[in-house]
Structures are given as structure tokens and as C-alpha cells.
Amino acid sequence: MSKRTWLIALAALMALAVGLRLWGTILAPVMRHPDEIFMVVFPLEFFSGDLNPHRFYYPTLHFYLLGLVYGVCFVLQNIFGAGWSRVEFAAYYIFWDPDALLVWARRLAWPLLRARWLLSGYWRGACTVPV
């Protein structure tokens, strides 16, 4: 197999992988893991004004970042005419349409996981290199 054929095959495989990843997060019907609903409900509880998550068996930094993302969604919806209060926004996305915010939670989880993976590899490497 020539180098050019190998590169074309590799590029096709990578394009297929990216396509499947995007199809699974954007176009496919939302299929939830049982714990994913907590990534919508717990950050929306910050809209009550109490910034204590009260649950520490999940990473709280993720909740705070999701609360920030959901706050941006709230502000953008008010700018473009939804006119909801914080309570109406939280109630709508908790009871009627959590899947809309679940997409944002999934999109935030991937960069966080990637950063954690890179940092853990960096620290492992830094700890094993003699000084």
C-alpha cells in the first residue's frame, strides 16, 4: 500500500469517526444515561440564588460551569424575546424539555474530560522525570 493510499484511508476513517461523533450528539434522538438528568437539574437549582450544590458525589466544578452556560442561555433567551423569569426558565427545562440543555451539558463535558486527561498525563510525566 502506497503512502498516498494509506493517508487517504486514514483521512476517510477520521472523517467517518467525526461524522459518527457529531451524528450521535446532534442528529440522533437524545438517549439519556440515568445520571445525565442530574447535569440539568442540579445546575438549574443555582437559579434559586443558592450556589451551594448540596450534593458532593458529583464534581461540583462541572455543576458551576453548567450553571454558567445555562445562565448564558437564559440571558440570550431574554434578549431574543422569551421573557421568562428565572423560575420559569428552570421549571421549563427541568419538567418539559431537559434534552435541550442536555446537549449543552454533553458539549461541555468533552472539553473538561479532555483537559483532565491532558493534565493528568502532564503531571504523571512531570513526576517521573528526574530533576
Buried b / exposed e over 106-130, threshold 16 CB at 10 Å, is eebeeeeeeeeeeeeeeeeeeeeee
Mean residue pLDDT of the chain comes to: 83
The phi and psi torsions of 104 (rounded to 5 degrees) equal: -65, -35
pLDDT computed for residue 27 by the predictor = 61
Cell of 53: 450544590
pTM of the predicted model, to two decimals?
0.64
Per-residue confidence (pLDDT) for residue 71, from 0 to 100? 92
| Alpha-carbon span 19 to 17, nearest angstrom | 5
- Residue that is written with C-alpha cell 422569551 in the block: 82
Identify the burial level of 90 via C-beta atoms within 10 angstroms of its C-beta, where 0-12 means exposed, 13-18 middle and 19 or more buried: buried
pLDDT digits (tens, 9 = 90+) for 37-96: 888 889 999 988 889 988 888 888 889 999 999 999 999 999 998 888 988 998 998 898
What pLDDT is attached to residue 24?
A: 64
Q: Is 130 a residue whose pLDDT tops 70? A: no
Domain boundaries, the chain: 1-31, 33-128
**Exposed, middle or buried, 46 (CB in 10 Å: 0-12/13-18/19+)?**
buried
Confidence class for position 30, pLDDT limits 50, 70, 90 = low
Give ∠ CA 92-98-103 in degrees, rounded to 5.
135
pLDDT higher than threshold 70 for residue 26:
no
Cell of 107: 458539549
